[in-house]
A and B are shown apart, each in its own frame.
Chain A
Amino acid sequence: MLKTKALIRLAFLGAAISWLIMVFADVTVLFSDLKGLDPDVPAWLPRVMLDAFILCLFYYYKLRIERDESLNFTDLLWKVFATGLIVTVISLAIRFLGFLLGNTPLPANVLYQDFVYQIDLSLFLSFLLAAFTSWKRLILYQKSKWLIRLWRVFEISLLVVLLYDSILVAFSEGVMTFTYIVIGVMVLILSANMKWVAYLNFRQKWTSLLLLLLCFFYLGYFLLTMSAEAEQIAEKSSVFMSFYGHVFNLVLCIFVLVYASFSFLVILFNLPTSSVFEQKLEEVINYQRISQSIQTEQNEESVYRILLESSVSSVFADAAWLEIRGEGSEAKTYTYQITEKESEDIRKHLQQNQVRGVLEQSSDRTRHLSKHLEGLKGARFRSIMSFPVIVKGETIGTLTLLKELPEAFTKEMTRIVSTFANQAGISIENFRLMGEAFQNERYKEELKIAKTVQRSLLPQRLEQDVDFEVAAFSESADEVGGDYYDTLRINDHQVGIIIADVSGKGTTAAFHMSQMKGIFHSLGQQALDPSEFMIRANQALVYCLERGSFISATYFALNTQTKKIHYARAGHCPVLYYRSATGELAYLKDKGTALGMIRSRDYCHFVETNEITYAPGDVMVLYTDGITEAKGAKGDEFGEERLVEAVRGHVHLPPKEIEQHIIRQLYNFSGSEDINDDYTLMVIKFR
């Protein structure tokens, strides 16, 4: 940044110094010539200094204008105009000074005239170079490789011409003509690059025209003034070289003039169509607005509003409405320049004429619609078109646009609005998908909480006794289930044990499980008979469980004094019992209906207390259906038989090891660690 600034200053300084030297040298040469003396300075100095001046100025503008990215097209023209204004004002001021001096000898002095001429020349050149640099940017807007190459050739040719001017070597007429033709062709080709004009809006075009017109004025002024001055001086001195003798200046002047004229004409002829281009641009912007509307924390309503606004502004509709049918609820209508009553009237009228509400995009019903409108008395509209807003293949609303002129909607407009309506549909769909994803995420979070709750409901430690040892294992699937097991010391010689499975999954299951825990811990304390326990538990749960939900459970009351187990099975998986005395390993299949299935006092008929007398070495295996229903690789279930096999032969082991063996067998069978249900296993070994 600093470097560029320094370079700009350096270039300007260079230009100023070379100009001063040039003026001094030129005046000296002229003075010597007039007096017939030998000049102290070499005759080539003014010309070389002019070259240096031009080059410095060229770089000055290159740095000032070409590198400035912030400039737009009108800014560029404005820069040229402003430079022109400044140089013209300075030139006029000097002329005014000459006029003030009036009849004094100074204005008639040829040296003074030369001095003024040199000032004018430098001013004119700076204006031309400013224009040249600006034109370059305009021409190279949307450049191609080929165009850049051509421009480079053009610039090099200009440099060559500049050098030719200074060395004063005369070429043959033919060479000169050829050079002129080549440069002329290049100027014409370059001047045909007018793409920037298309990007100007209506106002900018007018501004540009005005600025260009003023540039023509400056050009004209300088050309006239300088040729007059040059004539005056040339009369008096033979060594004076006029502007016209300088090929470079001439070429530069012609280039600036040609491009300015081309631009002027192109802009002028583009004026009538500029509104179309602007409209297209607005369509693109509107389209972007609709498609991006969803990203910036906006809601569906804003999408509808944007759709309505964009459609109206794109087709210059006089009125419009957007009717959105909510999910089941009443329709919502957004209007533009029309009352709800008016739109209601039109809708009713169309319905009466048996016109289907929404127009399919494929059909040309739009035209027919307008015809029907003619029949509506007192309506100010003569043209109508209507589009469905579709989300996930379902029409959620209708967009209707109205115009007061008959047949005012073109095919093009139909296409645009239908694109808008489609995009709005997509935006709404995305919006809803985002909402669903959010909901899913929340559900997952909820599940995580439910899982934590479920985990925390399971006992940290189990009751142990001199008479028996308890081991338990529980593993839950991704989806929270409702497996529950627990132990409770009732008194010195009595321990309650429960295993239960809540139907359903997720938070409700975890919730019912916690109820079960509460029931177990409160009823368990009372040393109830197991069937009484179940009857009361059922009574308590009837008011909490929703229709279709139930809990299967088995409750055991172990008495270490009598060495007896009383238990009641309420629809839970039968107990697997090993009798060490006989070596028998069997399921205890007895009567019992799950809790919550019978919601009346009749439940007492569906549950019973059973009794077992245990002996040391006996093993009791409790489990949930997740274990017996675990699926194997072939899709078959683990089943009761396999469970028996897994226990048999390991009954002599401590309960923890029996349990681990069963779980190992289970995982081997299912062939993966992924489980699709909860596994709960309790092994009680008596001693």
Chain B
Amino acid sequence: MVQIRRLQEEGADIIAIIGEIDASSSIELDLTIAKSVGEGFHKILVDCTALEYISSAGLGVFMSYIEEFKDKHIHMVLFGLKEKVANTFSILGLADLLHIRSTKPEAKQLLNELSV
């Protein structure tokens, strides 16, 4: 089960994922990101501090946006990944494709650098 919360800070949309992302809850994640994109945000932060587990379907969601973000000049940074989750990202080689930082300030900083 997952809970996804959104809040806006300094022009960035912060998506906080609480719980586990599996095949069924990945749809919710997909909808949330799509909504954020639809609302015109160019800076998206994904708060993974409370993300306990992510399945391949959940990773697929992040992956599916990579090209769209490139085209629309949208930047997304993930932060606060637990070791296990980070491991899943790195095994699949997504760590090289996504921007991942350990803390929120670092993530914000990267986001600002990217947006320039």
Using CB atoms and an 8 Å cutoff, list the residues of chain A in contact with chain B.
501, 503-505, 547-550, 552, 570-574, 591-594, 597-599, 606-607, 625, 637
Summed over the interface, the residue pairs from A and B with CB atoms below 8 Å come to a total of 61
Binary contact track B66-99/A, C-beta < 8 Å → 1, others 0: 1100000000000000001000000111101100
Q: Any chain A CB within 8 A of the CB of B12? A: no
Closest to B56 in A: A503
User: Could you say which residues of chain A place their CB within 8 Å of the CB of B23?
Assistant: 504-505
User: Could you say which residues of chain A place their CB within 8 Å of the CB of B30?
Assistant: 548
Q: 25 A–B contact pairs at CB < 8 A?
A: A501-B56, A504-B56, A504-B60, A548-B30, A548-B60, A549-B60, A550-B56, A550-B63, A552-B92, A571-B91, A571-B93, A592-B93, A593-B92, A593-B93, A593-B96, A593-B97, A594-B92, A594-B94, A597-B63, A597-B92, A597-B94, A598-B97, A599-B67, A606-B96, A607-B93
Most buried by B among A548, A550, A591, A606: A548
Closest to B84 in A: A637
Interface pair B93/A570, CB less than 8 Å apart? yes
Cα distance A239–B110 in the bound complex, in angstroms: 136
Q: Any chain A CB within 8 A of the CB of B61? A: yes
User: Could you say which residues of chain A place their CB within 8 Å of the CB of B60?
Assistant: 503-504, 548-550
**Contact for B91 among A573, A597, A599, CB less than 8 A:** A573
Task: Say how far B81's CB is from chain A's closest CB, in angstroms.
Answer: 16
Knowing A571-B92, A573-B91, A594-B93, the reply to whether A625 touches B67 (Cβ < 8 A) is no
Cα distance A211–B97 in the bound complex, in angstroms: 98
Interface pair B57/A574, CB less than 8 Å apart? no
User: Could you say which residues of chain B place their CB within 8 Å of the CB of A572?
Assistant: 91
Cα distance A574–B91 in the bound complex, in angstroms: 7
User: Could you say which residues of chain B place their CB within 8 Å of the CB of A592?
Assistant: 93
Binary contact track B36-67/A, C-beta < 8 Å → 1, others 0: 00000000000000000000110111011011
Task: Say how far A582's CB is from chain B's closest CB, in angstroms.
Answer: 25
Task: Say how far A564's CB is from chain B's closest CB, in angstroms.
Answer: 24
User: Could you say which residues of chain B place their CB within 8 Å of the CB of A637?
Assistant: 84
Q: A503-B57, A548-B57, A571-B94 are in contact. List 15 more A-B contacts (CB 8 A).
A: A501-B56, A503-B60, A504-B23, A548-B60, A548-B61, A549-B60, A550-B63, A571-B92, A574-B91, A594-B92, A597-B63, A606-B93, A606-B97, A607-B93, A637-B84
Interface size range on B against A: 10 to 19
Closest to B23 in A: A505
Most buried by A among B57, B60, B67: B60
User: Could you say which residues of chain B place their CB within 8 Å of the CB of A625?
Assistant: 56, 91
**Contact for A591 among B61, B67, B94, B96, CB less than 8 A:** B96
Instruction: Please report whether the interface of chain A is mostly helix, strand, loop or mixed according to DSSP.
Output: loop
Knowing A573-B91, A574-B91, the reply to whether A547 touches B64 (Cβ < 8 A) is yes
User: Could you say which residues of chain B place their CB within 8 Å of the CB of A599?
Assistant: 67
**Contact for A504 among B57, B66, B92, B94, CB less than 8 A:** B57
Cα distance A554–B96 in the bound complex, in angstroms: 18
User: Could you say which residues of chain A place their CB within 8 Å of the CB of B97?
Assistant: 593, 597-598, 606
**Contact for A597 among B57, B84, B93, CB less than 8 A:** B93
Cα distance A574–B87 in the bound complex, in angstroms: 11
Cα distance A549–B61 in the bound complex, in angstroms: 9
Cα distance A50–B30 in the bound complex, in angstroms: 100
User: Could you say which residues of chain B place their CB within 8 Å of the CB of A597?
Assistant: 63, 66, 92-94, 97
Cα distance A572–B75 in the bound complex, in angstroms: 27
Cα distance A571–B92 in the bound complex, in angstroms: 3
Cα distance A518–B84 in the bound complex, in angstroms: 33
Task: Say how far B77's CB is from chain A's closest CB, in angstroms.
Answer: 18
Cα distance A625–B57 in the bound complex, in angstroms: 13
User: Could you say which residues of chain B place their CB within 8 Å of the CB of A571?
Assistant: 91-94
User: Could you say which residues of chain A place their CB within 8 Å of the CB of B93?
Assistant: 570-571, 591-594, 597, 606-607
Task: Say how far A418's CB is from chain B's closest CB, in angstroms.
Answer: 39
Cα distance A658–B18 in the bound complex, in angstroms: 39
User: Could you say which residues of chain B place their CB within 8 Å of the CB of A574?
Assistant: 91
Cα distance A21–B94 in the bound complex, in angstroms: 116
User: Could you say which residues of chain A place their CB within 8 Å of the CB of B64?
Assistant: 547-548
Cα distance A607–B96 in the bound complex, in angstroms: 11
Knowing A548-B61, A599-B67, the reply to whether A593 touches B94 (Cβ < 8 A) is yes
Cα distance A67–B11 in the bound complex, in angstroms: 92
User: Could you say which residues of chain B place their CB within 8 Å of the CB of A570?
Assistant: 93
Task: Say how far B55's CB is from chain A's closest CB, in angstroms.
Answer: 8
Top 5 closest A-B pairs, CB basis? Answer: A593-B93, A548-B60, A571-B92, A548-B64, A503-B56
Cα distance A552–B91 in the bound complex, in angstroms: 9
Task: Say how far B56's CB is from chain A's closest CB, in angstroms.
Answer: 4
User: Could you say which residues of chain A place their CB within 8 Å of the CB of B94?
Assistant: 571, 593-594, 597
Task: Say how far B4's CB is from chain A's closest CB, in angstroms.
Answer: 17
Closest to A552 in B: B92
User: Could you say which residues of chain A place their CB within 8 Å of the CB of B57?
Assistant: 503-504, 548
Cα distance A598–B96 in the bound complex, in angstroms: 11
